[in-house]
Chain A
Amino acid sequence: TQLLEQSPQFLSIQEGENLTVYCNSSSVFSSLQWYRQEPGEGPVLLVTVVTGGEVKKLKRLTFQFGDARKDSSLHITAAQPGDTGLYLCAVTLSGGSYIPTFGRGTSLIVHP
């Protein structure tokens, strides 16, 4: 059982379309991170959300942390081919050590 469930697993869309990807859990987290991983590269941090209900915007990307801090969503407006990549959510489990835990990711392809 995955701690973080991401959906959809795959998404293939045309340039200009909008999309939303989700990261869900039954656990409560103090913070949650979103990363993008492009082919042949390591993940790059996009944003960290901390407060329940928090909304953060990064150009055409909108991130929301659920009120109960158990889930999060990433919405992309007018997707571009440069948005292609694997979108990963991650949390940090505490308890003495810093243990980063990632979801399986949503693989997004944006066609020109």
Chain B
Amino acid sequence: ETGVTQSPTHLIKTRGQQVTLRCSSQSGHNTVSWYQQALGQGPQFIFQYYREEENGRGNFPPRFSGLQFPNYSSELNVNALELDDSALYLCASSQGVGNIQYFGAGTRLSVL
């Protein structure tokens, strides 16, 4: 148990829909990073939030957006879902940027 919780655990959407995934960071952690892990791949960095501000972004289109709240929990929003968005979405929290990350178990998103 890392103390990082993600919801929901599984989600099925259809192409064109929008989705919101949620992450509660470990107590005391102020930094949250989101990753997309396609089947048979390593996690791909989407973006990171540090103290409610975006602090780095990977090579993902603007329809991937996020938010971090004052309690450091975070949301990942994906608009206009595409079939290739089907993946495991992982959230990781840390105490500061560049420190050890603790991952949640992920949300499995299927886009039909």
Specify which chain B residues have a CB less than 8 angstroms from the CB of A103 in the assembled complex: 42
Main secondary structure, interface of B, reads: loop
B45 and A44 contact, CB distance less than 8 A: no
CB of B42 within 8 A of CB of A104, answer yes
| Contact, CB under 8 Å: A99 / B42 | no
Given contacts A101-B45, A103-B42, A105-B42, contact A41 B105 (CB under 8 A): yes
Per the 8 Å Cβ criterion, residues 1-58 of B in contact with A are: 2, 4, 33, 35, 40-45, 48, 55-58
- Given known A-B contacts A97-B48, A98-B97, A42 and B42 have beta carbons under 8 A apart: no
- Count how many chain A residues have C-beta atoms less than 8 Å from C-beta atoms of the other chain: 20
| B residues with CB within 8 A of A | 2, 4, 33, 35, 40-45, 48, 55-58, 90, 92, 97-98, 100-101, 103-106
Q: Which residues of A contact B (CB under 8 A)?
A: 4, 6, 40-45, 88, 90, 92, 97-105
29 A-B pairs, CB-CB below 8 angstroms? A4-B42, A6-B42, A42-B2, A42-B90, A42-B92, A42-B103, A42-B104, A42-B106, A43-B43, A43-B90, A43-B103, A44-B103, A45-B101, A88-B42, A90-B42, A92-B98, A97-B55, A97-B57, A98-B48, A98-B97, A99-B56, A99-B58, A100-B45, A100-B101, A102-B35, A102-B42, A103-B42, A104-B40, A104-B41
